[in-house]
Amino acid sequence: MTAAGDWASVDADPLSMLVKDAASFMKEGFERGPAVFKATPARRALFSGLVDYAALLRLAQKLDAENDPLLFEKDINAARYVNGKRETLNGKEHADAASIEKLYTQEGCTMQFHQPQHYSDELWRLLAALERQLGCLVGCNAYITPQGTQGLAPHYDDVEIFVVQTEGSKRWRLYRPTPSSAAATPAGAQLAHCQLANRVSGDLREADIGEPLMEVVLKVGDVLYLPRGTIHQAVAHEESSSHLTISTFQRWTAADLLQYTVSVALANTYLQPRLPLPLKSGLPLRVLDSASLDAGEAAALAEASGGFGNALQALLPLAAVPAGGGGGAKAGLAAQLAAACRSLADCLEGNKLGPQLLSTAGDAMAEDFMENRLPPHPDQLPPLGPAPALGDSVQCISSSYFRLESYRGKDIAEGGCGSDCEEDHEHSHPNSRPHSHSHGQAHGQGEEDEDEDEEDEEDEEDEHGAGGNPSAWVRLVSCLRNDREDHMLGQEGSDSDSDSSSEEEWDECTALEESVDRDARAALGGDPDGKDGSSQDDHIFPAEFAPALVQLLGSAADAVGSGGSGKALRVRDIALPSAELQLNVATLLCEVGMLRVVTPLPEQQQASKQKRKDGKQQQEGGGKAAKQGAKTGATAAGGTGKKAAGAGKAKKQRT
């Protein structure tokens, strides 16, 4: 097992545990091609025996005894690859220990174990650290294969994969067809363009994938990196094998962000009117007519199918149409779309709308990530610590566990289009929540729905104002209360059996948050009983609190790269107008786990004392200068100088 000291380095830089040096890998190896990283003592100690047949059987027996067995499809797939075809031999429902043993020992099936981090604390901790480092979801599957067998057909995936051998050995063959080598079959020619794929391939035929680009045998502790779209297959040739696939970057490309950007902008009542006109221009009349197959495309499809044999070549001339039929319309449509894309590019590079578009699209992607990522492992969090006082210093535990975003209440427009992975595949992440594309009124709605729409529009006007400006609220989102058992499964809801004391603590935090909101609204002239429509798991603040919250998030040690100070700050230095608000906000955020009370370093204490001393001297000097100026002004005017002296005093109070 990995020692506590080793875990500290894994928590800080988990990718380097897999690839030796994360910075060099991201600069020189990421997305460029397969790579092998031979076992290190630390990696071998962490992964050896972490997942294997014996461990899976013990887990199944334990869950059987608890009357909570593993389930086929959800937790376990039993598959084998025989005579060029993949077979799935899942049972009806329960993947109990007896079923697993029979399928593995008698049927020669690979046991594909989905998301073992639900049960393994070590994998939970590793994946949580990776999600923090990479800033996107990280999934995991285990593959336990009997000696002399292969579980899966050749295929490629839509995720970056790190294969980690945990028991035995396995021979891997990797393929990257080139246009020339893949031309032997029509399907092979298509595979020449699968690099950095955004969809999984399904099972591929041996005849279509060509000769291997690389062959490698992985042993315990070895890591094989496979970029998206790398065709691969593996066999446990000499001995039984167990390995993990740690996968990430699904739907996490520039194209996906662009998709979010356009979808969110079209759904947003503030951004949509401000989009450049070429993006909002109507399509040509009967545009779908020209979008259908033309003769050349139909011929290419027919040839790729292989149907009709040699007779096909004689039939194609009969179906040909005169040159120019439909091609010009497609070219015109392509030109219009290109102009729209260029206008969007100009918009994104501009200083006005571009940042708003990216921020709104980023919010949509970040919401999926924050809702679906793992919570930190308990050992990755500092102790809760004491309640803060005004003289204490506080620091955010990690900026990556929290996100501050603008908030418009329950009527916020849902944007983005994070598409689900519809194909059941060994590396698919079925966690992505679909974003609604329906923002208008559906056909056939009755008067009641129309009344509701009118009320919604009135609410939206109240929230945004006549000009459509964003409402004056911000939301602090956290992953600390996410459910480990729901990770990568797309399930919603919380554990009903959670500890009652933690629920009581959460109720106290919620009450304190409501108190902060009421105090803030009252102090700043707002309605102390105003409604914001927030849920219990959100932390909603008036927008005037946003600078203070950014300041506190920036105190995290890992916030330096994103513009934060990375240093603790005193409660009385929080950017809020009163000591009461400063203390209430600090107390709330300590209670919910965002902040902790820290002891400043000696040099920080000395710098703070010097800053207070300099400020006091500057204040006293400014007051004297103001009084002297007031006296001089009064003498020149021939007056008493009382009014001018009063102005000097007021200026001193504002300093």
Asked, for residue 318, whether it belongs to a domain, the answer is yes
- Residue written as token pair 């696939």: 245
Please check whether residues 337 and 214 belong to one and the same domain. no
**pTM of this structure:** 0.76
> Per-residue confidence at 451, pLDDT binned at 50, 70, 90?
low
Domain boundary among 250, 273, 308: 250
Please check whether residues 398 and 302 belong to one and the same domain. no
CATH of residue 386: 3.90.930.40
How many CB atoms lie under 10 A from the CB of residue 346? 13
Average pLDDT for the chain: 80
Asked, for residue 493, whether it belongs to a domain, the answer is no
For residues 140 and 148, what is the distance between their CA atoms, to the nearest angstrom? 24
Report phi then psi at 51, rounded to 5.
Answer: -135, 120
Number of domains in the chain: 4
Taking 50 as the threshold, does the pLDDT of residue 349 lie above it? yes
Structural domain span for residue 267: 255-354
Taking 80 as the threshold, does the pLDDT of residue 631 lie above it? no
Least confident of 222-231, 296-305, 406-415, 579-588: 406-415
Report the percent of the chain where pLDDT is more than 70.
72
So what's the pLDDT on residue 617? 62
3-state secondary structure (DSSP) of residue 224: strand
Taking 50 as the threshold, does the pLDDT of residue 491 lie above it? no
Please check whether residues 569 and 625 belong to one and the same domain. no
Indicate the residue type of 148.
G
Asked, for residue 365, whether it belongs to a domain, the answer is no
CATH of residue 115: 2.60.120.650
For residues 190 and 183, what is the distance between their CA atoms, to the nearest angstrom? 9
Please check whether residues 103 and 213 belong to one and the same domain. yes
So what's the pLDDT on residue 448? 46
Q: What is the pLDDT of residues 162-203, one digit of tens each?
A: 999 999 999 999 998 877 765 567 788 889 889 999 999 999
Q: What is the pLDDT of residues 57-100, one digit of tens each?
A: 999 999 999 999 999 999 999 999 999 999 999 998 999 999 99
Domain boundary among 250, 278, 308: 250
So what's the pLDDT on residue 646? 35
So what's the pLDDT on residue 442? 35
So what's the pLDDT on residue 188? 81
Taking 60 as the threshold, does the pLDDT of residue 22 lie above it? yes
Please check whether residues 268 and 410 belong to one and the same domain. no
Asked, for residue 319, whether it belongs to a domain, the answer is yes
For residues 234 and 151, what is the distance between their CA atoms, to the nearest angstrom? 8
Asked, for residue 488, whether it belongs to a domain, the answer is no
Is the CB of residue 119 less than 8 Å from the CB of residue 192?
no
So what's the pLDDT on residue 615? 57
**Bridge partners of residue 468, in order along the sequence:** none
Token duo for residue 294: 């033309």
Please check whether residues 53 and 197 belong to one and the same domain. yes
Question: Rounded to whole angstroms, what are the CA distances from 74 to 93, 116, 425, 482?
Answer: 9, 11, 12, 20
For residues 218 and 242, what is the distance between their CA atoms, to the nearest angstrom? 10
Regarding predicted confidence, which is higher, 550 or 359? 550
Asked, for residue 495, whether it belongs to a domain, the answer is no
Please check whether residues 556 and 648 belong to one and the same domain. no
Asked, for residue 87, whether it belongs to a domain, the answer is yes
- Residue written as token pair 């001393």: 613
Regarding predicted confidence, which is higher, 512 or 270? 270
Please check whether residues 243 and 260 belong to one and the same domain. no
Asked, for residue 226, whether it belongs to a domain, the answer is yes
Sheet containing strand 569-570, strands side by side: 569-570, 393-396, 595-598
Taking 60 as the threshold, does the pLDDT of residue 466 lie above it? no
Please check whether residues 149 and 180 belong to one and the same domain. yes
Residues with Cβ within 8 Å of 551's Cβ and at least 6 positions away in sequence, in order, are 569, 574, 575
So what's the pLDDT on residue 613? 64
For residues 266 and 413, what is the distance between their CA atoms, to the nearest angstrom? 10
Domain boundary among 354, 389, 422: 354
For residues 32 and 158, what is the distance between their CA atoms, to the nearest angstrom? 15
Please check whether residues 168 and 293 belong to one and the same domain. no
So what's the pLDDT on residue 319? 75
> Per-residue confidence at 31, pLDDT binned at 50, 70, 90?
very high
> Per-residue confidence at 303, pLDDT binned at 50, 70, 90?
confident
Taking 70 as the threshold, does the pLDDT of residue 549 lie above it? yes
Please check whether residues 301 and 384 belong to one and the same domain. no
Please check whether residues 393 and 414 belong to one and the same domain. yes
Question: Rounded to whole angstroms, what are the CA distances from 14 to 17, 132, 138, 162, 226?
Answer: 5, 9, 12, 12, 18
Is the CB of residue 523 less than 8 Å from the CB of residue 585?
no
